[in-house]
């Protein structure tokens, strides 16, 4: 038992020292470390074996398992467990989101779904910030299928944001599609999907 405790104490102290070393780095050192990490991660993804079968949608080759975005965005759908969404938002920092996408790519998952300025995120949707950070800092190449929330008076703005930020595909969020269909406004869906296609992305509802 004492040996086990000593090992755990050593690991704990080592973790603290490692974290402290990073905090103590100059800005230049942290940037250089980030670049080295990005180069290493990109090389690992390049050499990773194809572990998952893929299918094609339009011009895209998409792994048959894709990374969802609800948990990353803090949408737990946990019914009466009202604390879970808050817990997820605290857990999924920018670094943890990038680490998640990196693990996906290393294991053959080449596509993720996430939102564009979701109205449910209270102005804190991390997707645009983190996907660009992931590409620039870690050389990430995961394909982004953008879940969009167009409005009847503005069908294109959020879709255009997805296009401008490198989305590979875009689709109308399901609940919005249901509401418009029930209201007899399938014309709005058709117009939004047409705009997505005009911009060269695969499109859906």
C-alpha–C-alpha distance, residues 146 and 104, integer Å: 17
**Closest CA relative to residue 140, chosen from 110, 170, 96, 115:** 110
Shared-domain flag, residues 41 and 65: no
Max Cα separation, the chain?
71
pTM over 0.85: no
Q: For residue 150, give its domain range.
A: 50-204
CB within 8 Å of 159: residues ≥ 6 apart: 116, 146, 148, 150, 170, 192, 195, 196, 199
Shared-domain flag, residues 65 and 151: yes
pLDDT > 90: what percent of the chain?
Answer: 60
pLDDT at 35: 56
Shared-domain flag, residues 34 and 124: no
Shared-domain flag, residues 138 and 175: yes
Average pLDDT over residues 114-142: 93
**Closest CA relative to residue 75, chosen from 102, 111, 115:** 115
Shared-domain flag, residues 178 and 118: yes
CB within 8 Å of 111: residues ≥ 6 apart: 60, 62, 63, 66, 67, 142, 143, 144, 145, 168
Shared-domain flag, residues 73 and 23: no
Average pLDDT over residues 117-131: 89
- What's the structural domain count of the chain? 2
Shared-domain flag, residues 13 and 75: no
Average pLDDT over residues 86-104: 93
Shared-domain flag, residues 110 and 33: no
* Lowest-pLDDT range of 31-45, 54-68, 78-92, 184-198: 31-45
How many residues are there in the chain? Answer: 205
The alpha carbon torsion through 76, 53, 131, 28 (nearest 10 deg) reads: 120
Q: What is the CATH number of the domain that holds 65?
A: 3.20.20.100
């Amino acid at each position: 038992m004492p040996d086990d405790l000593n090992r755990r104490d050593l690991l704990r102290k080592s973790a603290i020292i490692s974290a402290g070393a990073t905090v103590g780095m100059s800005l230049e050192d942290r940037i250089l470390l980030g670049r080295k990490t990005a180069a290493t991660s990109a090389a690992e993804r390049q050499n990773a074996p194809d572990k998952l079968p893929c299918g094609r949608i339009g011009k895209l080759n998409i792994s048959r398992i894709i990374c969802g975005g609800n948990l990353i965005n803090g949408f737990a759908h946990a019914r009466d467990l009202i604390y879970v969404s808050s817990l997820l938002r605290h857990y999924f920092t920018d670094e943890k989101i990038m680490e998640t996408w990196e693990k996906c790519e290393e294991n053959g998952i080449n596509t993720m779904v996430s939102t564009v300025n979701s109205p449910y995120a209270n102005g804190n949707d991390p997707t645009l910030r983190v996907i660009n950070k992931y590409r620039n800092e870690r050389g990430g190449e995961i394909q982004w299928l953008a879940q969009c929330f167009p409005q009847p008076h503005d069908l294109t703005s959020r879709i255009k944001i997805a296009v401008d930020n490198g989305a590979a595909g875009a689709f109308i969020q399901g609940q919005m599609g249901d509401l418009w269909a029930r209201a007899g406004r399938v014309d709005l869906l058709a117009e939004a999907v047409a705009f997505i296609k005009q911009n060269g992305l695969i499109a859906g509802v």
